[in-house]
Amino acid sequence: MNQVCYAVITFAPVQGFIENSRKLRDLYGSSYILSLLSWVICQEAKKRNFKVVSPATINVVQGMPNQIIITGEITQPDLDEIKKQFNRVWKLLAETCRIWIQEQLPEFSYTWQRHWQLWEKHAWEFFAALGKAGETITEVRERLNQVKHSRDWIGINWQGESSTLSGGDAIAYPELGNKTDPRSYDYKAVKEKVRDFYQKLQYKLGESFIKSTPDLYVPKIYLQERSQEYGAAFIDMREELSIPELIKRLITHRVIVDKLVKELESLDLPDQDGSLREIGKKLNPESFKDLNRLKTDKNPQEEKYWTGWFLGDGDQAGKYFKMLGEKARELGEDGKSIEDEENGTNDFSLEMRKWGQELEKNQDQYLQDKGRIIYAGGDDFFGVLYKGDRQIKPQECLQLMSSFKSNIWQHPEPKKITSSVGFVWAGSQVPQRDILQHCRDAEKAAKKSGRDRIAFRILFNSGNHLEWVCPWWLLDQKELLKNDKILLKPQHSLIESYQDRSGEKNWTHFYQDVATLKSRHAFKDEQNDIALALIEIYFGKEWKDILSHPDYRWNQYDEYELQTFTGILGDPKEFDTDKKVNESLNKWVINLAKVGFYLTGDS
């Protein structure tokens, strides 16, 4: 008889197509695909009477993390069958997209089937580690890491041009795979065929959306124009996408999602609560146009606005799980200690899943009707701040993001881990693709600077940027007051404490003082007296004392290496000399002046 044990399963895209994103819709599509495939693994485990420890609430598709922990009398053949079902669903998803295109655009001669089949077979790496009876979840996770080191994947080669999104895969168009003599390759002719295909695909996506939306009336005389406009919300005819990138876009279309859901029923995977179809409702162009603005070449005079974008996730989740495992070991290898680790893992997953559902459900309340947010699964999230018909003020974004930890992350109840966020205030002419990359870079900066903080980045139309990274407790009075390690308690948060010499909120004076002093090389690495003096002048003595206090500059950790206090400068291990400390504090004040200047104004 088989003994009860744990198994940990995860998966990853072979060539990183999930991470490559040009538009917000790419992120939605990526999140949906990851959530769907995780849901399939959970459903297959459930059919075999295994308990799913993580993720919790497996009937809710959106926001599924791509690491699954199951327990029961599991054997390797069971894991093999779960993998087969995983592959079947991905194949079905890809086929659904391909067949829809070919049925909607029969005028093309398609030679791309082989390339689609290659992506159906080789798009994902699937990893599974099977534990032994008595092993903890942490021990099985460690085994999974060993399994992931032995990579087993196949790259897909092609002849022709590469996609403009990733640059690493072939452009998906009907004649992909058509064998021709390289010596007679006509670059211009191929570009024209690609453009023709994407123009017609854009039109069909829009037309299909209109036809599938009963309450959307479009007079016949405007059908072609509106079809092209609605279709541009899914694919722009100037884009050149690879097969997996194309799948990410198509799976956000209501009609294609409906076809996929019907096909999934043949694999005994019914959409019982309608959540599989939810993405088509969320991302229909009509409800999404407040951000897209349906901007087209024929509306060049349409006003475009600066927008705020943020990307973030939880900090040190791996160390939190490791702590649960170490506590289990400390209690001894008995059933109780292993059960405690399992319950702790499940509680963490349940907490994050509930938060994600709450976030999706009440995002208008959380963001005060100033944008939208995507719960991507696990502890990952992404959002955009804007107003559909006018410019959102940068000060509104600053206020929302400064209180993100207390008003959103810790709501409705405190989390077991902290979060780090990268926020980008982006110029109206900056492409979404560049904004998304800057969001990733800003989030990395927040992590690298010590976690439990936010990185504010100003991204200009030229591509240049400014950045300032700050712990949450300096920005949010609620976080400051409840932090018992900070003895000094200013009446207001750092930003709210600002006033110029006239007692006004004009940030220009601080900005100009810093610019002048910097041009005179007044900020010397050997000291930070001038930087601290500026803080006292513009923010008050209490904030100057906080920045001067060495105990408030550094992160603090417990015996499990979990962060217990967030220092202004982060991890002390990153600073090996006093000169480096002074240099970093000077830069912190200089960047505060620069970034604050752009975020505290009304426009």
DSSP string, 324-381: HHHHHHHT-SSHHHHHHHHHHHHHHHHHHHHHHHHHHHTHHHHTTTSEEEEEEETTEE
Calpha distance 52→214 (Å, rounded): 40
Query: What are the structural domain ranges in the chain?
Result: 5-292, 307-599
Q: Calculate ∠ Cα 505-510-516, nearest 5°.
A: 155
Residue 295, pLDDT score: 47
Residue with tokens 């005179």: 520
Asked whether the whole model's pTM tops 0.85, one would answer yes
Residue 166, pLDDT score: 47
Taking every pair of Cα atoms in the chain, the longest distance, rounded to a whole number of angstroms, is 81
* First-to-final CA distance of the chain: 70
Does a cis peptide bond (omega within 30 degrees of 0) precede residue 13?
A: no
CB 123 within 8 A of CB 244: yes
Residue 235, pLDDT score: 94
- Residues 576-593: pLDDT tens digits? 888 999 999 999 999 999
Residues of the chain with pLDDT under 50: 158, 162, 164-168, 290, 293-297
CA nearest to 111, candidates 165, 167, 158, 168: 158
Cross-strand pairs, 469: 455
CB 288 within 8 A of CB 371: no
Residue 392, both tokens:
């959102």
Residue 296, pLDDT score: 47
> Residue 455 half-sphere exposure, CB side, CA atoms within 13 Å?
28
Residue 603, pLDDT score: 60
Calpha distance 246→173 (Å, rounded): 10
CATH number of 5-292: 3.30.70.2220
Residue 577, pLDDT score: 86
Domains 5-292 and 307-599 share a fold: yes
Residue 167, pLDDT score: 44
**Alpha-carbon Rg of the chain, whole angstroms?**
26
Calpha distance 405→322 (Å, rounded): 24
Q: How are beta strands 371-377 and 419-426 bridged, if at all?
A: unpaired
Residue 346, pLDDT score: 96
- Residues 342-395: pLDDT tens digits? 999 999 999 999 999 898 889 889 998 899 888 888 889 999 999 877 899 999
Overall CATH class of domain 307-599: alpha beta
CB 244 within 8 A of CB 119: yes
